[in-house]
Structure 1
Amino acid sequence: MYNIGYFSLRTPQNEYYKILKSDQQCSLELIETVCIEEVDRLDILIIEESKELNFTSICEHLLEIRKKSDVYILILADPEQTIFTSQMVYLKLGADGIYSEEADVLDLIVKNILKRVKKETIKKNMKRASFEIIPEKSCIVVNENQEIDLTRQEFLAMSILFNKRDQTVTYEDIYRGVWSKQTGEVQKNRVCNLVSHIRKKFDAVKESPIRLKTVRSIGYILESSSSKNEG
């Protein structure tokens, strides 16, 4: 579902608004005042030029929005209001396009932009949701730049899980790998406590790409959306 804001100081009557409102793939919201917090959650902001929302007002809003947001902005031009000079000013102030075409044409333009928005969102999420293991520093870097410091035992356990990511790793595998000098029966509680400490560190990370899933009576699976091994 795409979020589209329609900024107008009057009740829209144009055909394009009606087409967009009936589109089940889009969530259309009629906006009467521009709030940066609300704009940031939009995929596209459409500004309808009119006598009520004229050139000067639109310029002021563009300046304010572009200070804090990179949302796609389209100006639906009023043929009676807009001139070539004003269109150039809109573009220089950060508008992504000015249109006054038929409703079907503008609808296709918006759909093309939304396809790009989807691709960009996927790429952004894939880039952000990543982690890499750094043996020489005994740490893990998540989301490209955030280091998670681990104790020696935590790092050994994560290395074992990392090397078999998306596969089940038994309690015994982890125990023998971390406490290699220990003999005798596997102490499952030590493994559980160790993994619990690791989980707490990654749970504190916003949009953590790492999830440690418990496989009952067997062990754990390190699930990750994106990873790369450094070193």
Structure 2
Amino acid sequence: MSTIGLYQYENSYSSYIEVLKEKECTFYPLEKELDKDKQTTLEAVILDHSVGNSGESLGKICELLFRLKESEVPLIFILLQQSTPMERLIYLQLGATIVFDNQIKPNEFGIIVSNLLQPRVGLRQAVLEEKVGSGLQLNVYNHSIRLENEQEVLLTPLEYKLVSYLKSKKEQGATYEEIYQVLWQQEMGNQRYRVANLVFLIRTKIEKSTAHPKYLKTIRTIGYVFCSGCFE
């Protein structure tokens, strides 16, 4: 099942939207602003201007596309009654994925949209927000971790690699030498400070107090571990 944000030019019946409803798509009506909390759950947004004059709606659609540029929605579809090559080019340059008009039949529209949505839904369920426990979530796409207060914190690729590795170790933790080998693929030598510095940077991003960490704990003189229960 896909969740799609829907802007409708007029609240009228649309055979295009009905086709997607038959495919068990769920629609979330959108008004002037796109709720930031809703962005991460939407697979796509449809701007439905299939009723009315396409020329008159040009400015409105451009305005909506500018707003959607700031969102995290991966797919944006535009439905028009009629369109010119110039209009389609403008919309595509502003971030639209595909521009449809009445030259395409509702059933064909439904198949195209469904085909584009299916791989995204599967990936989202598998890896987009990998539950960590206690409200923590890892996002493999942008190397971020979502904290219990719903704040999303971006990590560098190296920081994310360390967090993911400690997750795989669960409550066992990992030694300085082991971590260094995983991150830099070589013997640690006297470079233990590099591991410590990286852990400190992660703590500044995810901990309220680096002196008294809640999640990323030190195993004295040995290495690091995520606290019991942080990862499922």
For normalisation by structure 2, the TM-score amounts to: 0.56
**In structure 2, what is the Cα distance between the partners aligned to 1:99 and 1:66?**
19
**In structure 2, what is the Cα distance between the partners aligned to 1:124 and 1:21?**
24
Identify the match of residue 58 of structure 1 among 56, 61, 68.
61
Q: 1:198 to 1:34 in 2, by over 3 A?
A: closer
Q: 1:149 to 1:4 in 2, by over 3 A?
A: same
Pair 1:98-2:99 in alignment: yes
**In structure 2, what is the Cα distance between the partners aligned to 1:67 and 1:134?**
41
Q: Aligned residues, how many?
A: 158
**In structure 1, what is the Cα distance between the partners aligned to 2:175 and 2:62?**
49
**Cα RMSD for the two superposed structures:** 3.2
Unaligned runs of 5+ in 2: 131-139, 144-162, 167-173, 178-191, 204-215
Does the Cα contact within 8 Å between 1:36 and 1:68 map onto a contact in 2? no
**In structure 1, what is the Cα distance between the partners aligned to 2:2 and 2:86?**
32
**In structure 2, what is the Cα distance between the partners aligned to 1:125 and 1:90?**
30
Does the Cα contact within 8 Å between 1:20 and 1:28 map onto a contact in 2? no
Deviations 1:125-180 (A, max 9, x none): 463683244523577x99xx946341328858x6xxxxxxxxxxxxxxxxxxxxxx
The one-letter code of the counterpart of 2:29 is L
Displaced runs of 4+ in structure 1, greater than 6 A? none
Superposed, which structure 2 residues align to 1:79-228 within 5 Å?
79=82, 82-100=83-101, 101-121=104-124, 122-125=126-129, 127=140, 130-132=164-166, 133=174, 135-136=176-177, 146=202, 148-152=216-220, 155=223, 198-199=227-228, 203=230, 210-211=231-232
The one-letter code of the counterpart of 1:97 is I
Bigger CA radius of gyration: 1
Identity of aligned residues (%): 19
**In structure 1, what is the Cα distance between the partners aligned to 2:222 and 2:26?**
45
The one-letter code of the counterpart of 2:91 is Y
Q: 1:40 to 1:57 in 2, by over 3 A?
A: farther
Pair 1:12-2:19 in alignment: no
Q: 1:130 to 1:64 in 2, by over 3 A?
A: same
**In structure 1, what is the Cα distance between the partners aligned to 2:175 and 2:95?**
41
Unaligned runs of 5+ in 1: 159-196, 204-209, 212-231
